[in-house]
Amino acid sequence: MPEPSGRGRREFLPSANQAIAELEKATGKPVQIVEDPELNVLATIRRAGPGEASHVLRIKSGENRAADYLIVFECRMALRDDPGPRAVLRDNPAVRERVISECEELHPQLPPARAQELGSFIYRGLILQLRSMGPGMLVDRWIRQHGLDVSEAQGQAIESEITNNLAALKPSTRANYPAKVYEASISMNAAYAIHGGDLLGKPYLAVPYLSQGYGEIGRRLISLAVGGKGQTQELTEQQIIDAWAQELGVEGWYEWTELSE
C-alpha cells in the first residue's frame, strides 16, 4: 500500500533535492513524496491542480539512483509549464473512439470489451508520447549540460528506454496497431533514439530506426522540439506538442483545456 514518505526516510542526491525545492518555491506548494512498491516506473510526479494542496511525487521503493534522475526530470518538466493559465492536454473522445473501432477491426478474435480496452490503451499511449517526448528532450539537454550528479543514471535510463522501444519495430507489433498510430509512435521513438544517442555520444543507438527509413522524420521532430541554429528562445510545451502533432498528422487528436489556479 503506497504511503507518504517524509524527506528524511529516503536519501536523495543533491540535484534531486534541489529540483524538489525549486518546484516548491516556484509554485508555492509542497511536494508530497509517496513510496509506491507497485509503481511501474521509478518515479513520476503529478502537479497540483486548482484547489489541491500539494504536488504528489511517487517513487518506487528501494535504492535506485535512476529514481533520482527521474525526480529531477519530472520536476523540471513540471517547472517548464507555460506561463499564464495552465494549459492541460486532454483526450479527444471522438478520436479515441475511432482508434478503438480500428482496433476492433484489427482484432476480431478479441471480446469487444478487451478490444475496446486495447484501443483505449493504444490511443492514450500515443498521447502520452506526444505530451512528454518533445518537451522531455529540452529537459534531458538541460540535465546533461549542467553536469548534474544524476548524469550517469540519466545515461543508463535513456539507453535502456531506447533499447526497450526497439521491440516496437517488429512486424508483429506493427500488425497490432492502426497504421497512423503506429507510424506516429515509431517516428517519435526514432526521434528519441537519435536525440538520446547523440546526447550520450552513442549515435549507434539509433541505427535500427535509420535502417528502416525513420531518420528524416526523427530529425525533423528533434528540430521542432529543440529549435534550429540561431533560435534563442525555447518553445513552450504547447508549441512543441502542436508542432509534433502537425508533423505526424495527428493534429486534432487531443484538446487543450485551461486551468485556473
Domain ranges for the chain, please list them: 3-79, 89-259
Using alpha carbons, list the distances in angstroms from residue 38 to 47, 230, 236: 20, 45, 33
Which grid cell sits at 156?
A: 543508463
Helix or strand or coil: residue 60? Answer: coil
- Short-list 252, 196, 243, CA closest to 220: 243
- Considering only residues 53 and 234, tell me which one the structure prediction assigns the higher pLDDT: 53
Rounded to an integer, what distance in angstroms lies between the CA atom of residue 96 and that of residue 125?
Answer: 11
Domain formed by 3-79, architecture: 2-Layer Sandwich (3.30)
pLDDT of 227: 81
- What is the bridge-based pairing of β-strands 55-59 and 31-35? parallel
The dihedral sign for the CA sequence 101, 106, 111, 114: negative
Residue given cell 471480446 in the structure block: 111
- pLDDT (mean) for 15-31: 92
pLDDT of 6: 44
pLDDT at 260 over 60: no
pLDDT-based confidence at 259, cuts 50/70/90? low
- What is the bridge-based pairing of β-strands 43-46 and 86-91? unpaired
CA 10 to chain centre: 25
pLDDT of 123: 96
Digit-coded pLDDT (tens) for 103-131: 999 999 999 999 999 999 999 999 999 99
- Calculate ∠ Cα 30-28-62, nearest 5°: 25
Q: pTM of the predicted model, to two decimals?
A: 0.89
What type of residue is 88?
V
8-22, 42-56, 181-195: range with highest mean pLDDT: 181-195
